[in-house]
Each structure stands twice: as C-alpha cells, then as structure tokens.
A and B are shown apart, each in its own frame.
Chain A
Amino acid sequence: MANKQQQTEITTRHVNVYYGAKQALFDVNLAFPKYQLTALIGPSGCGKSTFLRCLNRGNDLLGHTRVSGEFQFEGRDIYDQAVNVMQLRSQVGMVYQQPTPFPFSIFDNVSFSQRMSGEKNPHKLAAIVEKSLRQAAIWDEVKDNLQQSALALSGGQQQRVCLASVLAANPKVILLDEPTSALDPVATAKVEETLQQLKANYTIIMVTHNMQQASRISDQVAFFLDGKLIEFNATKKIFLHPQEQMTSDYLNGKFG
C-alpha cells in the first residue's frame, strides 16, 4: 500500500484554464496516485469537470478555451506538441454523465476502438469484447444479446457498456464525469461496485455530486470551489477532519 501510494499516474502543476476572458481554474496542483480512485467534488460551476476534461484534452474540442500548466503523464506533458491526441485519449478514457452508446450493436460498440485502430481478427475482437464487458460487470446481462442495439438497453446497462468500450481501448486512466447522476440507485450501486473492482488495474478519477458516493468508493477527495482547489486529502480525513472551514461547511450542506 505504502509503495503504491508513492507512485503517481498523473501530476498536474499550476493549472489555469480560461474560457474566453473568464478564468475557470486558478493554479491547481494535484497528483493522482496510481491504482486509486480519486473523487473531485464541489458545487456546480466550481471547475471540477473542466479540470477532468483537461486530462484527456477534452477542452480542445470546445473551442475558445486556453489551458496552461504542467500535466505529467507517462513521462511526458499531455499538452506537449509531440503528443498524439488520439493515442492519449485511448490511454486516458472518459465516461460521460449521459450514457452515449453508438447506434449499433453491443459487440460493435465495445469493439469499436480496436476496430478503428485496425484490429480485424474476429477471435481477438471477441476476446476483447468479453473481457471488457466482464470488467464492466455487464457480461452476464448481455452475453446472449451481443448483436442487439446498445440503444435498446436500460440507462444503467448503457453506462456500463460505455465503460466497457472505454476499457476495450486499453486505457491506463479512466475519467468519469458524474457517471451515475442519470441512473437509478440500483444501477448506481452496480456501477460503484464495478469501479471498486477496476481500481486494481486502473487509475480512476471521478467527478461526483454525490457526497455519499465519494465517501463510499474513493481513496482521495479533492474539493474545488470557485475554480480553486481548496483541499486534497485521503477520503477519511476529508470527511472526518477537514482542514479547511470551507470544506467542512460544504460537506455539512451549508452551501452548494
């Protein structure tokens, strides 16, 4: 455990993000330990999703956005000119708030990234699909209907199929932007259970609005407010002995 904690997967320093003239993040420094689940919490508009999107250069897609700071990942800076963005995004996968399966079968959804990068061998693809669906804890529910359209599944199932699609791309880091806020409690519990199992092999960074969720499944919590990182600590410490008054006020529901 101690050894694992020393290894960091992504280290960010002095991160500033601007949307046009408006500054969304102020000098954020965060290091994400390998094989742990870090939760980013804070009220709406505090910049936590903006920060998350920086990590796979998702802000590049929005336009009018300027990002500065250091993002060390795998010995390189994520924003380095030489970085292949497509390769980066397959290593740092992202699951969105709304499940967004593609309009074709479950099998084709999960195997999509592999097929797009040129994998044609049907046995290999089938093996990858099965492994990914098992990891996302949805294999038993869909194994007999892999040719069914992914859009016909329930929201919770769609979200886990999306997770499987991300896993099939062979990532090292998985980013999740409020992955359960559109799901019912049963589906939420399933996704949470899945994430706890995935921690063994992946570094997970998750934005959540749900304090109970953060306390249940995360190892670290980073609390954001008004674009600033207020406090970053082990989950237990944050919830039991927050160092900052603002963190304590937020967790006690005094604002948010």
Chain B
Amino acid sequence: MNRYRVNQIMTGILNGVTLLVVLFIAAFILYLLASGMTAINWRFLTTSSEVGLGIRDQLFNSLYLLLLTQLISLPIALGAAMALTLYVDKRSKFASFAQGLIQILSSLPSIIVGLFGFLILVLKFNLGFSIISGALALTFFNLPILTQSIAVSLQGVPDEVMQSGLALGISKWHTITKIILPEAMPGIWSGIVISAGRVFGEAATLIYTAGQSAPTLDYTNWNPLNPASPLNIFRPAETLAVHIWKVNTESLGQDAATVSRGTIVILILVVLLFNLVARYFSTTMRKKVGR
C-alpha cells in the first residue's frame, strides 16, 4: 500500500469519526427534545410545581441564581485574571502557584464543592438552604472557569499593544482599561456566557446548598425580606437541574417522567440559547473591533 493510499484512508477514517460524533450528539439532543416537547405547554411554564406540576419557580430560581453567581464571581475573576496576566510577573513562583490552585479548583468534582458549601455556608455560617448559599457555592465552582477564560482572552492581546500604549506616555491603568480590555472583550463575553451555561445546568453543587424545595413564589411581592418574595436571597430555591434530579429520585407517580422530560427540554434550550448568544457576541464584537 503506498503512502497516497494511506493518506486517503486515514482522511476517510477521521472524517467518519467526526461524522459519528456529530450524528450521535444530534440524535441525542433530538431524542430529548422530541420526547419532552409534548410535556411543554403554557401551563407547564407558568404554574408552580406544587399547584400545577409546572416549573415556573424553578426556571426563575435558575436564572436568579445564575445572575447572583455571575454578579459575585465576575469582579473577582476579572481582577484575578488581570492580576495574573498583566501585573504579576509570569515567571514568578507566586504566578505558577496561583495558576496551579486555579487548575485544581477547576477540576474539583462539583459534589465536593456542594458538600463543602453545605458544611461551611449552610451549617457553619448558618445561612441554611438558601439562594445565597447556592450562589456562593456556585461561585467556587464558577471562579476557576471564568478566571481561566478571561485570562486566555487577555493573553490573546499582543504584548506590543501594552508596550505601544505605555510608549505613548499613557498610564498602565488607562492602557489596560481603554485598550486591552476592549480588545479582549469579545473573548471575555463568550467566556461569561459559556460559564453561564455550565452554572445553569449545575445540580450537584446546589442539592446541599440552595436546597431541593421550591416554595411557591408570589411574583407581585417585591419585598426582598419576605419569604414568598422571588427576590429573597434567604429562601430555599430548587433549580431546573436539581428539579430533574429530584423528580427522578423521588418519582412522584405517573407525571414524574413527563415533568422530568419537559424540564430537560427547557434546560437544554436555555443552555443552547446561551451558546448561540456567546457566538453572536464574539462574532459581532470581533467585527466591531476589526480583527
């Protein structure tokens, strides 16, 4: 067999493997969507799980927890990434130590993060099963992912950009905030949105921190201290992903399977939406930047 033939065969095999992966994923998603679509109707989206077997509150809880998590983690992750890429000497011991810690944190199993949150936040700090416990635990889960993706975006800006900014007599802070951050922005945005997808689908971290119950919420109550208010951060809050887990382990009878499949569809659609938004952001912003 000559080398041209080998080349042809290997190209064929690689294409075939790629096609297989794509087909498998497409079939899997289509199956989940098709089997769950029938469960979705207006009532499913707008009633609480206690009254009408709906997921209204779980959907809200998921989005609210995501928002809080990103609000807490974004400033920390941005600061850490900026320090590690633009301020700390990359060859220093501290830099490699910090990088190592971030990598360890990012590969920590989420159930460990959840149990850690349960011990520290729920019990020790007496926050109970609450949104704030969940958001803080999710921050631990989210920080390394977000820090790394922001750091990668910042590293993507050529060193010469920083040099020529400084060479114009502009301060380091202004060079960073006016030139480097805007140039890294498309990458930072897609990092935020992709990490949002992972946070949104996270269950293990939340089971022991935000809890598994979803008290019916009164969406007209805007007093954040009232237990029925959706804004209250000290109430327990079951999310979509936790709901899927709970429905399947406690199996509430015949409806359980339907509810579970419907919830899966909503979860997948939202995560898919996040990814589409991330792509849209990075392409349009990149066009605006001109690269």
Provide the residues of chain A in CB contact with B183, threshold 8 Å: 102-103
Q: A86-B169, A89-B168, A93-B168 are in contact. Are A61 and B289 (CB under 8 A)?
A: no
Chain A binding surface SS class: helix
CB <8 Å contact, B166 and A89:
yes
- Complex alpha-carbon distance, A93 and B168, angstroms: 6
CB <8 Å contact, B182 and A58:
no
Query: Closest CB of chain B to A84's CB: distance in Å?
Result: 9
User: Nearest B residue to A117 by beta-carbon distance?
Assistant: B169
Residue total for B at the interface (Cβ-Cβ under 8 A): 23
In this assembly, does A112 line the interface, its C-beta being within 8 Å of a C-beta of chain B? Answer: yes
Among B161, B169, B174, B288, the one with the most A-chain Cβ atoms within 10 Å of its Cβ is B169
Provide the residues of chain B in CB contact with A100, threshold 8 Å: 158, 160-161, 163-164
Provide the residues of chain B in CB contact with A149, threshold 8 Å: 288-290
Interfacial residues of chain B within 164-184, with CB under 8 A of chain A in the complex: 164-171, 174, 178-179, 182-183
Provide the residues of chain A in CB contact with B164, threshold 8 Å: 94, 96, 100, 102, 162
Provide the residues of chain A in CB contact with B89, threshold 8 Å: 63
29 A–B contacts from the bound complex (CB under 8 Å): A58-B163, A61-B162, A86-B169, A86-B171, A87-B169, A89-B167, A90-B169, A91-B169, A93-B167, A94-B167, A100-B161, A100-B163, A100-B164, A102-B161, A102-B164, A102-B165, A102-B179, A102-B183, A104-B289, A113-B169, A116-B170, A116-B171, A116-B178, A149-B289, A150-B290, A151-B289, A151-B290, A162-B164, A166-B168
User: Nearest B residue to A162 by beta-carbon distance?
Assistant: B164
Where the two chains meet, the residues of B that have a C-beta atom closer than 8 Å to any C-beta of A are: 89, 158, 160-171, 174, 178-179, 182-183, 288-291
User: Nearest B residue to A62 by beta-carbon distance?
Assistant: B163
Provide the residues of chain A in CB contact with B167, threshold 8 Å: 56, 58, 89, 93-94, 96, 166
Q: Apart from A90-B169, A104-B182, A112-B178, list 15 A-B contacts with CB within 8 A.
A: A61-B162, A63-B89, A86-B171, A89-B166, A93-B168, A100-B161, A102-B183, A103-B183, A103-B289, A103-B290, A112-B170, A149-B288, A150-B290, A151-B291, A162-B164
Provide the residues of chain A in CB contact with B163, threshold 8 Å: 58, 61, 96, 100
User: Nearest B residue to A58 by beta-carbon distance?
Assistant: B167
Query: Closest CB of chain A to B45's CB: distance in Å?
Result: 42
Among B162, B163, B182, the one with the most A-chain Cβ atoms within 10 Å of its Cβ is B163
Provide the residues of chain A in CB contact with B160, threshold 8 Å: 96, 98, 100
In this assembly, does A88 line the interface, its C-beta being within 8 Å of a C-beta of chain B? Answer: yes
- Complex alpha-carbon distance, A169 and B170, angstroms: 10
Interfacial residues of chain A within 208-225, with CB under 8 A of chain B in the complex: none
In this assembly, does A126 line the interface, its C-beta being within 8 Å of a C-beta of chain B? Answer: no
Query: Closest CB of chain B to A96's CB: distance in Å?
Result: 6
Residue-wise interface mask of A (65-98) relative to B, using a CB-CB cutoff of 8 A (1 in contact, 0 not): 0000000000000000000001111110110101
User: Nearest B residue to A88 by beta-carbon distance?
Assistant: B169
Provide the residues of chain A in CB contact with B165, threshold 8 Å: 102
Query: Closest CB of chain A to B49's CB: distance in Å?
Result: 48
Provide the residues of chain B in CB contact with A117, threshold 8 Å: 169
In this assembly, does A165 line the interface, its C-beta being within 8 Å of a C-beta of chain B? Answer: yes
Query: Closest CB of chain B to A93's CB: distance in Å?
Result: 7
- Complex alpha-carbon distance, A96 and B165, angstroms: 11
Provide the residues of chain B in CB contact with A96, threshold 8 Å: 160, 163-164, 167
Query: Closest CB of chain B to A38's CB: distance in Å?
Result: 19
